[in-house]
Structure 1
Amino acid sequence: MVNFRKAEKSALDQPITAVGHDGAVTFDGWWIDIERTGRLAKISAKVNGYESKRIPLDRVEQVVWKRPSMLINGYLEFVVSGEPRPHGKTTGAAANPNAVLVTKQQATRFEPLYTALLEALAHIRTENPGR
C-alpha cells in the first residue's frame, strides 16, 4: 500500500485553471479544485446532486481526458481512490462530480492542465513505485 503522506507537492510556479462547460478546474500542484461556477454549472450540479469539491492529488488514481469533437463534448475526469466511477462516457461525465465537460472551443484551455496533472501523477508514482 502507498503511503500517501510521503507524496510531495508538484512544483508549479502558479496554479493552472481551465474553465469548462459545467465548471472550472484549478490545480496548484497538490489540490485539484472543481468549482461549479456560472449559471449552467450551478444548474448542472443541482440537477445531478453534487457541488464544488477539492481532491488531493495523492487520491487520484487516473486522469481521463476525452477530447471533444465538433459535435460531441469531451470531459476531464478524475478517478478518485475509494469513490465509485460512473460510466465512462460523456453522458456519464455530466452526472459525475469528479468530471468537467469541455466543448471543442474550450479544449485548448485544458491541455496544459492535463499535461501538468499527468506529470504530477508520474512524479508521485516515481516516489511511490507501488502506486
Structure 2
Amino acid sequence: MARVARRRGMARLWDRARAAWAHSGAARFRGALTAAAGVALGLVLAGYHAGDPSLNASSSGQPANWLGVPGANVADIAVQTLGLAAWAIALILTVGGIARLFEPDPASSPRHLGSRALAAALG
C-alpha cells in the first residue's frame, strides 16, 4: 500500500509560513502597517521644510520637520523625486491599508489588491 509522502525540513517550514501569512489576522495587521506608513508619510510631507538638513542639503540648525532628521530626509527624497505625487502615494497607502484593515475577509482577497492599485494609479 502506498504511503503518504511527508514533507520535511524547509518545505514544512514554508508551508507554515504560507499559512501564517494567509491568516486573516496577519492580513489585517499588514493593512494596519500599510495605513500607518501612509499616515507617517503624510506627516513627513506636511512637516517638509526646504531649509531642513537632509542628505543633500546641510544646515547647522535643527530640522523643522515633525519627525526630526529621519523625517526631513524622507521628505526631501520624496519631494525631490516625486514632487506632489508623494501626497498621492501617502493617500493611496492610507486608504489601501484602511480598506484592508476593515475588509470582511482580508485573507481571501489578495487578487483584488492588484486591481485596486491599478485603479488608484490611474486616478
TM-score by length of 1: 0.33
Tell which structure's C-alpha radius of gyration is larger.
Answer: 2
Please identify which structure carries the higher helix content: 2
- Name the structure, 1 or 2, with higher relative contact order (CA <8 Å, separation 6+): 2
